[in-house]
Structure 1
Amino acid sequence: MTNKGMLGMCRALALVLLLGCFSVQGALWTITYPRPIDDTDERTQYPIALLKLALDKTGVNYELRPSDRILLSGKAMRQLRENRQVNVVWSMTDIQREKDLNAIRIPIAKGLIGLRVFAVNDKKRAKFKNISSIEDMRGFVPVQGEDWPDTKILQANGFNVFTVPEFDEAYDFLKQGRGDFFPRSVIEITPELEKLGKGSNISLEPSYALYYPTAMYYFVSNNNKTLANLIESGLRRAKADGSFDKLFQSTYLPVLDEINMSERTIFTIENPLLPDDTPLDDESLWYTSMQ
C-alpha cells in the first residue's frame, strides 16, 4: 500500500472513531419512571430530583419522563421486569425484588422508608396512650397493602395485619374504623394527610413510631446493567461532592422536625426480608438517628 493510501485509511479510521465518540456523547438516554396518580404528588418529588441530580453528575444527554399511564408500585415493578413502559422504578427492597430486578444498592432516602409513624382514626387515638413495649403494640391491628414488603415484615413480628388490594383503600378502611393504624414512612405521611384534608377523621398519632431496617432503591431491569451503572455512578459522585446529602437534608430534616420525631418513642422490629447485600456497614448511606 502506498503512503498516500495508508494516510487515507488512517484518516478514515480516525473519522469512524470520532463519529463513534460523538454518537456516545450525543446519544439521548430516554429514562421513563412510573407516572403517579397525581403529577404534583410530593412523595415523588425527591426521588425524581435525586435521579436528575445523579444523571447530571454523569454528563450524559438524557430525557427523564413519566410513563404514559399511571402505574402504582406493584404494577410498575411488574412492568419493569417485563421491560415495558418504564425502565427505572424506586421502591422498598426485599429479597424477591432483588432477585427479579437489578437493585442499585444506595438507599435513596437513607433508610427513612423504614421509620414508620401512624395514621389513626380520631376515635381510636385514645387507645394509643400508655404504650410501653412492642408487646403492647402487637395488640393493635395495622392496615397494609396485600403485596407490600411491609405486610410480611409486620406479620413476621407478630402483628395481625389487615390487608387491602389498593393503597387508597387503606385510608378508606381506616376512616370506617377498620383496623387500628396505618403505619406510614415519615417521608410519606405528611403529604398523604394533607391530601385527606382538615375535615378528615384521620390524623397523625403523636407519640410513637416503628422502625425496621430497610432501603428504598432505584431498580432497573436485570437486562439493563448499563443504565444501572450510569445511575450508580451518578449517585456516588453526588455522595462524594456532598450534593446528595444536601438534597436529602433540605427535603427531610424539616419533615422530621414537623412530626416531632425526636420526641417519639421508637420501637425497633426485625426485617426478615432484608437482603444480605444491604450495605448496612456503610454509615454514610444511612440516617443514623432512628433507633
Structure 2
Amino acid sequence: MLSLAACAAVRAAPKSATKVVYPLHLGSYDARYDYDWLVLRTALEKTVPAFGPFTMQQFGEAMSPQRVAQELVLPHGRINIMARAVSPEFERDDLPIRIPIDKGLLGYRVLLVRKDDLPRFARVRSLQDLRKLRAGMGKGWADVAVLAHAGLPVVEGSAHENLYAMLMANRFDYFARGVDEAQWEIKEYGARFPQMAIEPTLLLRYPLPRYLFVRRDTEGEGLAKRLKAGLEIMVQDGTLDALFRQHKGPIIEPLQLDKRRLLTLANPGLQDIPQQRPELWYSPGGK
C-alpha cells in the first residue's frame, strides 16, 4: 500500500509536456507559414490548464512541401505536425483537426494572368465563359480535380516555379491562386515576369480548408485532441477571428473580394467539411 506521502507525490506529479515539432520550409516560402504556427501556438497555450505544458520547436532542416508530407507519414518522422490544404490523400494518411485555421480563405481564388489578357477576363460572366480559357496548376494538386470537375481545361506543370514561366509563354491563360498567395507571388516573381498581373474582376470559390494535420498514432491522437480543444476555445472566445483579421485583413482588403464576380465550384473529393458551422468560415461581404 502506498504511504500518504507517496500518494501525495503521485497526485502532485506534473503532467508531461506535449512536444510539437513543426517543419521548416524551403527558402522564403517558409514565411508564408508564420500565421499557421501562430494559430498552433495559441491553441496550445489555450489548453495549458486542461492538458499541461508544451514545447514547440521548428525542425532545423528545410524541406519541400512534398518532403514534409512524407515525414509526417513515417512512424518515426522528424516532425509531428503540418499545416496544409485538405486533400483525400492527407485525410487518408494523416489525422486532420477539422477546424479551418485560415477560415477557408484558401478556397477563394484570384487569377494570375498576362496583362494583355485583362480585357478577355473582364468579359467572363460565368463558368461557361471561363471554360473557353485554360487554367494552369501543379501536377497532382488537389485543385486540378476541382477545376476538371467543373469542366475547366487544366494544363499541369511539373514544378511550382515553372508555372509562372508557362503562363507568360502562353501555355495556359490563368493561374488560380489563394488570396494570400497571389500578392506574395507578384512581389516574388514580378521582376522576372513584369507582364504578370492579378485579374481584378473575378473570384473563384470552392471548399478547400487549411487544417493542422498530425500523425496517425497514439501520440498524434492525443495531440489532435488537445489542438481540437484549443481551436474550439479560439473560435468561441474570438481569438481565431482576431488573428485572422490582424494577419489576413491587410492582404484581403486591396483585392476588394466583395466587389468581384463570384464563380462557385464544387470540391467532390472532400468529406466531413464542417460547412454547417458558419462561425468557422470567412465570407467576403456576406456572399
Equivalences, count: 279
The normalised TM-score by structure 1 is 0.89
Letter in 1 for 2:281: W
1:146 matched residue in structure 2: 139
Q: Give 2:4's aligned residue.
A: 10
* Alpha-carbon distance, 1:145 to partner: 1.3
1:283 equivalent in alignment to 2:255: no
Cα distance, 1:42 vs structure 2? 4.2
If the length of structure 2 is used for normalisation, what is the TM-score?
0.90
Change (3 A) 1:79 1:40: closer
Residue 198 of structure 1 and its aligned partner are, at CA, apart by 4.7
Q: Unpaired segments of 5 or more residues in structure 1?
A: 1-5
1:169-190 Cα offsets, whole Å, 9 max, x none, are 2223223332111100112211
Instruction: Please give the secondary structure, in 2, of the residue aligned with 1:234.
Output: helix
Partner of 2:108: 115
Give 1:156's aligned amino acid: H
Amino acid at match of 2:80: N
Q: 1:54 aligns with which of 27, 31, 43?
A: 43
Calculate the aligned-residue CA RMSD, in Å.
2.0
Could you tell me whether the CA contact under 8 Å between 1:91 and 1:216 is conserved in 2?
yes
1:10-64, CA deviations, whole angstroms, 9 ceiling, x for partnerless residues?
Answer: 222322332xx32x1xx34332222122357442121111111111111243332
Q: 1:175 aligns with which of 165, 168, 176?
A: 168
1:95 to 85, 88, 91: 88
Give distance in 2, aligned partners of 1:39 and 1:176: 25
8 Å CA contact 2:24, 2:30 repeated in 1: no
Q: Which is worse superposed, 249-258 or 46-55?
A: 249-258
Distance 2:28 2:184 in 1: 13
How does 1:102-251 map onto structure 2 within 5 Å?
102-198=95-191, 200-223=194-217, 224-251=220-247
Residue type of the alignment partner of 1:238:
M
> Which residue does the alignment assign to 2:252?
256
Alpha-carbon distance in 2 for matches of 1:283, 1:196: 35
Distance 2:9 2:54 in 1: 25
Contact 1:42 1:191 in 2 (8 A): no
User: Could you tell me which of 68, 76, 90 is aligned with 2:60?
Assistant: 68
SS at structure 1 position matched to 2:128: helix
Aligned residue for 1:244, secondary structure, equals helix
Query: Is the contact between residue 68 and residue 85 of structure 1 (CA under 8 Å) also seen in structure 2?
Result: no
**What is the CA distance between 1:75 and its match in structure 2?**
2.6
1:128–1:214 CA distance, 2 compared to 1 (3 A)? same
**Cα distance in structure 1, aligned partners of 2:269 and 2:59:** 29
Structure (1 or 2) with the larger CA radius of gyration: 1
Instruction: Report how far residue 81 of structure 1 moved.
Output: 1.3
Equivalent in 51, 60, 79 of residue 86 of structure 1? 79
Structure 2: runs of 5 or more not aligned: none
User: What is aligned with 2:24?
Assistant: 35
Kindly state the Cα deviation for residue 101 of structure 1 after the two structures are TM-superposed.
1.1
Aligned partner of residue 188 in structure 1, secondary structure: helix
Aligned AA (2:71): Q
